Structure 1
């Protein structure tokens, strides 16, 4: 413990950590961590930490995208024609504060997720499965305490029982999402949180929890616990009371280092063991083949990157004059399909793939990984065509777009070269079409970007979706459904797509679902709903002092966050 305290003091004083010890794993990333409260975690940065502090009922084993294995559950059964799930729970499990894990904690966790289901969280898909609606009790009056309490409860045998209103073939996979990690009922309720009872459930519906007391003082059952944090650094240590295999690495340090060059040098010097990189072009030039570095290539990529076009821009500060007068755009600028088609034709997909990924990227036809069921490579896709872009702009808004011009603000996550390059390419090509067109590019902190996206303030942004659960519904409904997660930030609504989507979500027939997804893909192309970015072949790199699960082709799993407890360091 003395060594840990010394390390902590140096860390928070900002001292260099060259030649980090073998029992310490140092990570450096460009952005902040929005939250450590599982309920509100809906980004990869937060989930990556939460997955090591907390545990879910089930998880993916090894590199599998289809199988699930017990974690805090030991086994389960599915009855009542697929609408009842009963879980036996692991015994002799401790939370970091010493509380003993019981069924009451699991019951509280899932009820809390259903009660709060805030705008910043990923609890909407849990609510869909258990309550039949993605909304909370504040936004949807059909959500009642009776529905919530009956949807998840402990039985007399201490088993956790979920009761669904209808069959959801993806329900089990949804429980592996880090946002469904189990919290301690007693500990959490003492943090001025929801009481776990009917008396105050309505006052907690839809609350913003990213900055909750639980986020500041996390308390999970996972192999690591948080020791300390400030604005730029987090310090974790192995949990001595962990029920499972004891971690080889004792300490983990997560640092926010916005400057890419600083992160690169830290890795090459041995100050860091793993860093957030940039584009393939940059990473290969600056990192690959350098002494002390392990590079693993040709890995599966299940993320779906896209440039969003918001149909109902609520951020008044982002639309200038709010008119098509050459000084801004109206809030409904992107409701004209010709505007969306014009921007889709204006993007140079091949240039982006070459500049960012050295050609190792695929321009997909749908906002769905090509490794997932339902993907159809025969669906049409847009090519870079300035003439077709100009023709579409001339038709847009009865000719006013071409005649008067516009000023558009586009956003991306700060200090991420890939997204910056994408918007720079689009800006250059759009402005070259007509001198009256102006595109401003704005970097934003990750937490701010997520908040403004969710509230529908941003006109256009680059963002990528990483799956919550391994089912095509997690992409199709998320991107294309008018009640899907991205609808709040894009206001997309297409009645035909909604009808097909609903059919696919209620069918267990794979052939029927796949045919419906093809129809959705073709319709999405016709309506130019997104500018779909080329998706790269994935790669990772890290200090050659590291080894373990998740760092090789055989064990890498794009559905899970890297588990620190499976790592060793020499």
Structure 2
């Protein structure tokens, strides 16, 4: 009967459950899910589903960001000067299709990820380890099928062997990223994905996997299997053949509900077990302490919130006249250092902390969480200063910007109250400086925002970076390198910054790397390429009949809402 109720909800695409069944998790979120294909997963919304349906070779132990333990692997060994890693795989593991996991599936997974490496996914850092470059075979003509084939192999004993281009201290951590979850070779090929052979490998170079066939029909080894998806609802159910034992939660239903008030109402009534909130201040005011609500606070925050300023905006709809005539901005508006500094001084960081973080936020000096080595709290940081903002805007374009004014359109994630509030703070303070300054805010679906930003279309982008692997390089290289993942979104280029980042990569000594990162942070302050937003301790809230969530079980490297995989939860 309960399953019939869930299926009715899925079919209706709208009405809430009267009360969530004991064996079912119901999640309301304002965002759409870009993909359910691990190879295309590179956002936390997608990752939260991928890591519950699929599994990686290794994973983080409990709440640690440093200690790794086996998952689909049982053990591993490094050899050849740490350039070769050999993995034993777990026996008897079943895919949701019923097929048994083999080494060939793992080999296929990593070769597929290398092939499809592009700015749309996180496969660049895997390619960097195995091929010595972040580029794919279209961008780097030295990449051949033979190089890809030799990078990942199965030996005669059925072990998985990685052959790295050079030693990489972060390689094991990279394998824990949910985008490196293992997929079934034969199943994927039957769907029409890459065959796994040389014959069609070139057809898949740089392929965008966001809307892949595998995304529409996922098939992993995880505790939950895909049942159905429509425009607003995704349904999963417990996999009876799961090697780790059947979980206590039998079904997961995730519904897209764009309006925050509707999500809050459903949560307080018990119609939803988890919801996407509206930021700390809103959630504390509306939800904390209410009947049926559990709250866990002061959890580690290893994300890096920021606002990217695109130095080459390609969407003409966002820049109007493309001139400094008060009706638009040039496409390279943010390439002007005085404009960037003006925006950085115009943001009211204290207001942001009060409005979104209940006064519990902290301004960082770097786009790196404090728990990582390399963080330097002595570096200067921008503070809210209308006088300083006006001073830099007056210097921009030799005074023309201040005299004529500008109009800039900014897209933000539809349904995200915190994103809207963030940009409203910026808009209000910018427009207060000069009556000729105008900012228009426009909601946009998350998947569209991500897709357009990777093509340099967005003018500004609110980006909270969740680490792919627990190392400062994954933050700082990603944000600032001219060939970093976010470079296509910000079009930021700085030769000095590239030198510092590469110097840091050339040593495995954390102390030496920290010195380079300190210089990098000072350079970032001087050039203001990205606005660094305050960060606060994390918190989770959920219906109090859910068991398994606590400060000791919360994993900061997990994308799943609540910080705990669904297989580890139960309900009273």
Q: Quick one: distance in 1 between partners of 2:131 and 2:329?
A: 39
Q: Quick one: distance in 2 between partners of 1:6 and 1:306?
A: 41
Match runs of 1:137-536 below 5 Å:
137-536=137-536
Q: Quick one: distance in 2 between partners of 1:123 and 1:199?
A: 22
Paired residues of 1:412 and 1:463 also in contact (CA < 8 A): no
Deviation for aligned residue 1:277:
0.5
Q: Quick one: distance in 2 between partners of 1:260 and 1:336?
A: 37
Q: Quick one: distance in 1 between partners of 2:441 and 2:304?
A: 21
Indicate whether 1:9 and 2:11 are aligned: no
SS of corresponding position for 1:126: helix
Q: 2:556 aligns with which of 543, 551, 558?
A: 558
Deviation for aligned residue 1:88:
0.4
Deviation for aligned residue 1:539:
0.7
Q: Quick one: distance in 1 between partners of 2:379 and 2:473?
A: 18
Paired residues of 1:29 and 1:275 also in contact (CA < 8 A): yes
Deviation for aligned residue 1:355:
1.2
User: Deviation string for 1:353-390 (max 9, x for gaps)?
Assistant: 01111111111011111111111111110011111111
| Shift >6 Å, 4+ stretches | none
Give the match for residue 60 of structure 1: 60
Query: Which one is further off, 328-337 or 36-45?
Result: 328-337
Paired residues of 1:419 and 1:463 also in contact (CA < 8 A): no
Indicate whether 1:90 and 2:90 are aligned: yes
User: Deviation string for 1:502-529 (max 9, x for gaps)?
Assistant: 1111210111100000000000000001
Match runs of 1:530-549 below 5 Å:
530-548=530-548
Deviation for aligned residue 1:232:
0.5
Give the match for residue 569 of structure 1: 571
SS of corresponding position for 1:450: helix
- Listed as ranges, the gaps of 5+ residues in structure 2 are none
Match runs of 1:36-75 below 5 Å:
36-75=36-75
Q: Quick one: distance in 1 between partners of 2:297 and 2:414?
A: 26
User: Deviation string for 1:246-302 (max 9, x for gaps)?
Assistant: 201111111111111111111111111111101211101110000111011111111
Paired residues of 1:56 and 1:177 also in contact (CA < 8 A): yes
Give the match for residue 78 of structure 1: 78
Paired residues of 2:10 and 2:234 also in contact (CA < 8 A): no
User: Deviation string for 1:81-111 (max 9, x for gaps)?
Assistant: 1111110001101100111100000000000
Q: Quick one: distance in 2 between partners of 1:15 and 1:460?
A: 35
Paired residues of 1:36 and 1:215 also in contact (CA < 8 A): yes
Q: Quick one: distance in 2 between partners of 1:476 and 1:75?
A: 31
- Alpha carbon RMSD of aligned pairs, Å? 1.1
Q: Quick one: distance in 1 between partners of 2:503 and 2:538?
A: 33
- TM-score, scaled relative to structure 1: 0.98
Q: Quick one: distance in 2 between partners of 1:295 and 1:36?
A: 29
SS of corresponding position for 1:438: strand
Q: Quick one: distance in 1 between partners of 2:241 and 2:189?
A: 22
Deviation for aligned residue 1:201:
1.0
Q: Quick one: distance in 2 between partners of 1:316 and 1:132?
A: 37
Paired residues of 1:107 and 1:154 also in contact (CA < 8 A): yes
Match runs of 1:126-145 below 5 Å:
126-145=126-145
Q: Quick one: distance in 2 between partners of 1:144 and 1:314?
A: 33
Deviation for aligned residue 1:3:
4.1
Q: Quick one: distance in 1 between partners of 2:376 and 2:442?
A: 34
User: Deviation string for 1:191-211 (max 9, x for gaps)?
Assistant: 111111112111111112111
Q: Quick one: distance in 2 between partners of 1:344 and 1:230?
A: 41
SS of corresponding position for 1:190: helix
Q: Quick one: distance in 2 between partners of 1:520 and 1:412?
A: 29
User: Deviation string for 1:509-554 (max 9, x for gaps)?
Assistant: 1111000000000000000011111112111100001011xx2111
Q: How many residues align?
A: 567
- TM-score, scaled relative to structure 2: 0.98
- Listed as ranges, the gaps of 5+ residues in structure 1 are none
Paired residues of 2:313 and 2:331 also in contact (CA < 8 A): yes
Deviation for aligned residue 1:6:
4.3
Query: Which one is further off, 467-476 or 307-316?
Result: 307-316
Q: Quick one: distance in 1 between partners of 2:243 and 2:467?
A: 28
Paired residues of 2:137 and 2:144 also in contact (CA < 8 A): yes
